[in-house]
A and B are shown apart, each in its own frame.
Chain A
Amino acid sequence: MADTFILGIESSCDETGAAVVRSGEQILSNVVFSQIATHMPYGGVVPELASREHLRAIVPVVRKAMADAGQTYQSVDALAVTQGPGLAGALLVGLSYAKALAFALDKPLIAVNHLEGHIHAVLLEERQKGNHEVNFPVLALVVSGGHTHLYLAEQKGKSWSYGNIGHTRDDAAGEAFDKVAKLLGLGYPGGPIIDRLSSHGDAKAVKFATSQIKHPDRKNRGKSDNLIARTDFSYSGIKTAVLRYVETHGMAAAIARRRNTLAGIEKPNLEDYLALCDMETLNLVASFQRAMVEDLVAKTLTAAEACEAATLFVTGGVAANQELRQRFESESAQQGLPVFFPSRPLSTDNAAMIAAAAYPKWLARDFAPMDFSAEASLPLQRIQV
């Protein structure tokens, strides 16, 4: 079959991204304009800043993606864009741009669900490495600041189907990492620094229990739901437990000092953080991360067994966490379950995953009508053809 070149565009949250991917298996370019620096003073993503930054970034990012790939607007076969879920204003920037470009070039436009993109990021990299032997069904844990979802993915002919078999009941795992980092005076985004500090503390020092979810309310759903046990997550409780620990152990003054000192350092490195963290803080950070990792791994592997998954994908920003990767690798091996992660650049939001997820839709000629719109809370459909 002839090669297919798809230009993907992603603007659902922090990052403006554009990428060209060949036939869902080779990244020709992958450009991400990160807005984290812009957001840092506010301790999070702010929607207006997000949209404004996307507006500023989108044209240069797309141009660079085309140039890096050695492609022209005429040589790409189709455009793909994130339709949702995400921030409405941010989504709209990528979507409007992609629509206009597709219209001007008279090329088909493919709408992609952001969560589907994260799943295809893993597949894309495996194919790029020459691994075409991924067995189905695939259980995918999508774990980031806004999501903690388990999807059972099946490939039937050209089309993919996704069954959501679990999600967080309250906070996403990445949100818990970020809120804990913020309340410890470690700044935003918190996941990476907590990961790096954790290896310097004793993970057994503080006992944290993550909430175990009972699922009585899941009965009487659709028939297909009843075939598979639900596996939900809950990370609000552990966040509160860290807050309580901080309050009851007189850590407030040290935290305020840390926050102020870090604010005065332009690009703090690991040594700066370590110098500002006493042993009690490092132990707390390590113990928090250990509890998060153990819960994510245990629940995901239990779900994999229950739904007889043949392969496990762990994807999304939190999938870059080193301890999470190590634990998944060792424990999946014991279970005889192959586990795959995206590389760090493909873990976080990027457009290559959007172009890759669009490829099966290209094969199925599943094109978006010109009047489709952004959907901030777009679900990943049970069946997506």
Chain B
Amino acid sequence: MSAPAASARETITYSAEETTAFGRTLTDLLAPPKLVLLRGDLGAGKTTLIKGIAAGFQAASEEDVTSPTFTLVHEYRGPRATLYHIDLYRVDTPRELETLGLDDLFAENSILLIEWGEKFARFVRDRDVEITLERVGENDRKIQVTSR
């Protein structure tokens, strides 16, 4: 992929609805193909943000985007992008990761949105966009988007 200048955005949202709404604004930045890491503790709002991203790409309605912790990979198909929502919460070793076959998901119109991907150096190295969510109040979240 070409290497445009690095950019960063930062915002604070004050409710889950605002976090989702912010996700909707990221469609230009996340135009496929992209490998996106989502970082944040349990309950930081990673899935909530992905609800907005999926809705923004018309790939899924917000209420149909749910946690893939057990199912590991959820696929949402939109008119201009296929989103793969991936949760590596329970995947710990590179050998286990290997067998998930994530490499097969990379394509021109793919966006891989990976939760807990920072466990693996290759994702930290190869990511196009990194989104960090931090809880700064009961419902307040600081969201940083770094793109390269």
Task: Given A46-B96, A87-B71, answer yes or no on A217-B63 (Cβ-Cβ < 8 Å).
Answer: yes
B66→A167 contact, CB < 8 A: yes
A175→B70 contact, CB < 8 A: yes
- In the assembled complex, B75 has its CB within 8 A of some CB on chain A: yes
- In the assembled complex, B100 has its CB within 8 A of some CB on chain A: yes
Q: How many residues of B contact A (CB 8 A)?
A: 26
- In the assembled complex, A116 has its CB within 8 A of some CB on chain B: no
- In the assembled complex, B79 has its CB within 8 A of some CB on chain A: no
- In the assembled complex, A125 has its CB within 8 A of some CB on chain B: no
A218→B75 contact, CB < 8 A: no
**In the complex, how many angstroms separate the beta carbon of A276 from the nearest chain B beta carbon?**
22
**In the complex, how many angstroms separate the beta carbon of A199 from the nearest chain B beta carbon?**
26
B73→A376 contact, CB < 8 A: yes
- In the assembled complex, B2 has its CB within 8 A of some CB on chain A: no
- In the assembled complex, A54 has its CB within 8 A of some CB on chain B: no
- In the assembled complex, A198 has its CB within 8 A of some CB on chain B: no
Mostly helix, strand, loop or mixed at chain B's interface? Answer: loop
Question: Smallest CB-CB separation from A211: which chain B residue?
Answer: B16
Partner of B100, one of A44, A48, A167: A48
Chain B residue contacts of A46, Cβ below 8 A: 90-92, 96
A170→B67 contact, CB < 8 A: yes
- In the assembled complex, A240 has its CB within 8 A of some CB on chain B: yes
Chain B residue contacts of A168, Cβ below 8 A: 66-67
B66→A85 contact, CB < 8 A: no
Mark B84-120 against chain A: 1 for CB-CB distance below 8 A, else 0: 0000011110011011100000000000000000000
Task: Report how far A376 CA is from B98 CA in the complex, Å.
Answer: 19
Chain B residue contacts of A146, Cβ below 8 A: 70-71
Task: Report how far A240 CA is from B96 CA in the complex, Å.
Answer: 27
Q: How many residues of A contact B (CB 8 A)?
A: 37
**In the complex, how many angstroms separate the beta carbon of B17 from the nearest chain A beta carbon?**
10
Chain B residue contacts of A145, Cβ below 8 A: 70
Chain A residue contacts of B48, Cβ below 8 A: 170, 236
Question: Smallest CB-CB separation from A41: which chain B residue?
Answer: B92
Task: Report how far A240 CA is from B16 CA in the complex, Å.
Answer: 13
Mark A234-272 against chain B: 1 for CB-CB distance below 8 A, else 0: 001101100110000000000000000000000000000
A48→B99 contact, CB < 8 A: yes
Task: Report how far A167 CA is from B65 CA in the complex, Å.
Answer: 11
B42→A48 contact, CB < 8 A: no
Task: Report how far A86 CA is from B69 CA in the complex, Å.
Answer: 12
- In the assembled complex, A45 has its CB within 8 A of some CB on chain B: yes
B43→A243 contact, CB < 8 A: yes
A232→B63 contact, CB < 8 A: yes
Interchain Cβ contacts under 8 Å between A and B, 21 examples = A42-B96, A43-B90, A44-B70, A44-B90, A46-B96, A47-B96, A49-B96, A51-B99, A85-B71, A86-B71, A87-B71, A146-B71, A169-B66, A171-B69, A175-B67, A175-B70, A217-B63, A236-B48, A240-B42, A376-B75, A377-B75
Further 5 A-B residue pairs, CB within 8 A, beyond A44-B90, A183-B42, A377-B71? A44-B70, A170-B66, A376-B71, A376-B73, A377-B75
Closest 8 CB pairs of A and B: A240-B43, A48-B99, A44-B90, A146-B70, A171-B67, A46-B96, A145-B70, A175-B69
